[in-house]
């Protein structure tokens, strides 16, 4: 890898670190934000869901725009939207202002597919695998910083100051990208598919609203079902339009490529399990005994931090192995290791140390699944379609990531036990918390999800990257 390639890679790693830091720091603070605004856990889940939903919608759109108008320009637009929203979030007077700001922050998710497309433009195929491993491994540092530094700020200064510091860091990064990042020059002479873009945006939004509102409104509630039905109809309309239009937003022929299809399906499924793990651990760590471990925000964050550091080390290794051995062995190994990790979370979570060990195992398995997906998309598509291909994969992973918290909170709501506070013979208060059965069911669902992931991974067409390109072998 030459110096120019290293400089670009380091800059993109910085961006991934920043976004993951900000988004992870929010997770430990959710119970506190819920108490501050006196809201339900369902409404609190929108703090993460709003970001994920908008991020899912903009990812393929920004990926397509980057293919058409240049990577740097679209990267900066995505980052600018994120910067403004982070600034607003820290001053939110109501939960709805905060959720709205978080939704606008979702525009920042566009830097992920655009950044990955930049990497595939400037590096050779065998270098791309290792670089993607480093980028994915950087998620570990960003997540660790969010859990440790973010938790410390949340606990000692308030969650508002976490957003204030994030705004300053985002502003510095925006200026550096503006001055230092060069455009790769890749362009695709295409027109904007306004009809397809509108259909994709509205249909995805409606389906994700149905998923997010399911626990509170009811999965069979007529009003909520109307979101799902209309969303699915518009999605069908989107596919029909894309098959007919001259310059589609998403070329359906490319999406039918075997490894692209596998990567997209695995992206949805694995993201569900990953978010179940994060939400389950954070809530379990902070719930009072005997329902949880009774840890404060910082200590709860520290239970996840070691796993994210391990992911940093494992990420580049998995990236290198993806190039050397191909994606299929990594997907199968990651699935099996994740199943073992979730099994440990069911039978061995009695102390913070147990929790740390369990999450390290499960997290290593998850990173072994995620890294090959990006490489499969990049290797399978031509350079003028990589941005949109990676964007669609990001959309689908965000779709899964939005389902995970909903499943977790729905299970916690369904398995609550009473906690009676007494003084002598007098009952002072009765509270209801998710019991041990709730978390058992949660991690059992994650195992079922990963088993599905394992089945899909078996259809991967394996390949090995070599010095002069790629060698594809079944």
Q: Which residue, chain included where needed, has tokens 């397809």?
A: 196
Phi, psi of 293 (to 5 degrees): -95, -10
What pLDDT digit, counting tens, does each position of 4-25 carry?
Answer: 778 888 888 888 888 878 877 7
Residue 419 belongs to what H/E stretch?
strand 416-423
Domain boundaries, the chain: 3-190+247-472, 191-246
The predicted model gives 142-157 an average pLDDT of 75
What pLDDT digit, counting tens, does each position of 202-221 carry?
Answer: 887 788 778 767 767 777 88
- Model pLDDT, residue 469: 46
pTM for this entry: 0.73
- Model pLDDT, residue 172: 94
The predicted model gives 29-33 an average pLDDT of 82
What is d(CA 250, CA 258) in angstroms, rounded to the nearest whole number? 16
* 409 closest CA partner among 46, 42, 43: 42
At residue 63's C-alpha, the angle toward residues 321 and 189, to 5°, is 115
What is d(CA 19, CA 7) in angstroms, rounded to the nearest whole number? 19
Instruction: Find out whether 119 and 12 touch, Cβ atoms under 8 Å.
Output: yes
What pLDDT digit, counting tens, does each position of 235-279 carry?
Answer: 899 889 888 887 777 777 777 899 999 999 999 899 899 888 877
3-state secondary structure of 412: helix
What is d(CA 269, CA 362) in angstroms, rounded to the nearest whole number? 15
Instruction: Find out whether 464 and 323 touch, Cβ atoms under 8 Å.
Output: yes
Q: How far is CA 152 from the centre of its chain?
A: 23
- Model pLDDT, residue 466: 59
What is d(CA 162, CA 178) in angstroms, rounded to the nearest whole number? 24
Return the CATH number of 3-190+247-472, one of 3.40.50.720, 1.20.1250.20, 3.40.50.300, 3.40.50.620: 1.20.1250.20
Torsional class of 251: left (φ above 0), alpha (ψ -120 to 50), beta (otherwise):
beta
């Amino acid at each position: 890898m030459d110096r120019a390639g290293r400089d670009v890679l380091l800059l993109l790693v910085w961006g991934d670190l920043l976004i993951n830091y900000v988004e992870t720091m929010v997770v430990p603070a959710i119970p506190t934000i819920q108490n501050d605004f006196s809201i339900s856990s369902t409404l609190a889940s929108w703090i993460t869901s709003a970001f994920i939903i908008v991020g899912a919608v903009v990812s393929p759109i920004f990926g397509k725009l980057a293919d058409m108008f240049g990577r740097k320009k679209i990267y900066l637009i995505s980052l600018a939207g994120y910067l403004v929203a982070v600034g607003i979030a820290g001053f939110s007077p109501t939960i709805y202002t905060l959720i709205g700001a978080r939704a606008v922050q979702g525009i920042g998710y566009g830097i992920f597919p655009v950044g990955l497309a930049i990497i595939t433009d400037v590096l050779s195929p065998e270098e791309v695998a290792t670089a993607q491993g480093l980028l994915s491994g950087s998620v570990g540092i960003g997540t660790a910083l969010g859990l440790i530094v973010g938790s410390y700020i949340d606990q000692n200064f308030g969650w508002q100051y976490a957003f204030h510091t994030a705004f300053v860091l985002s502003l510095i990064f925006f200026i550096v990208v503006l001055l230092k990042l060069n455009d790769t020059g890749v362009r695709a002479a295409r027109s904007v598919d306004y009809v397809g873009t509108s259909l994709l945006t509205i249909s995805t939004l409606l389906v994700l609203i149905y998923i997010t509102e399911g626990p509170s409104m009811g999965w069979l509630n007529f009003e909520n079902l109307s979101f799902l039905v209309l969303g699915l109809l518009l999605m069908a309309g989107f596919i029909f339009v894309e098959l007919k239009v001259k310059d589609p937003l998403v070329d359906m022929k490319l999406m039918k490529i075997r490894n692209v299809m596998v990567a997209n399906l695995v992206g949805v499924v694995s993201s569900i399990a990953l978010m179940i793990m994060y939400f389950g651990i954070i809530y379990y760590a902070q719930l009072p005994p005997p329902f949880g471990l009774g840890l404060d925000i910082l200590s709860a964050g520290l239970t996840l931090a070691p796993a994210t550091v391990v992911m940093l080390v494992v990420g580049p290794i998995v990236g290198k192995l993806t190039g050397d051995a191909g994606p299929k062995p990594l997907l199968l190994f990651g699935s099996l290791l994740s199943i073992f990790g979730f099994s440990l979370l069911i039978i061995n979570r009695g102390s913070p140390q147990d929790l740390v060990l369990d999450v390290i195992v499960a997290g290593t398995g998850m990173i072994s699944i995620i890294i090959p997906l990006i490489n499969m998309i990049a290797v399978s598509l031509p350079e003028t379609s990589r941005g949109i291909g990676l964007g669609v994969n990001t959309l689908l992973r965000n779709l899964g990531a939005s389902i995970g918290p909903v499943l977790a909170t729905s299970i916690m709501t369904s398995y609550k036990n009473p906690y009676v506070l007494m003084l002598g013979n007098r009952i002072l208060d009765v509270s209801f918390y998710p019991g041990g059965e709730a978390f058992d069911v949660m991690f059992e669902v994650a195992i079922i999800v990963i088993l599905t992931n394992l089945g899909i991974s078996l259809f991967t067409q394996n390949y090995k990257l070599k010095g002069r390109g790629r060698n594809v072998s079944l």
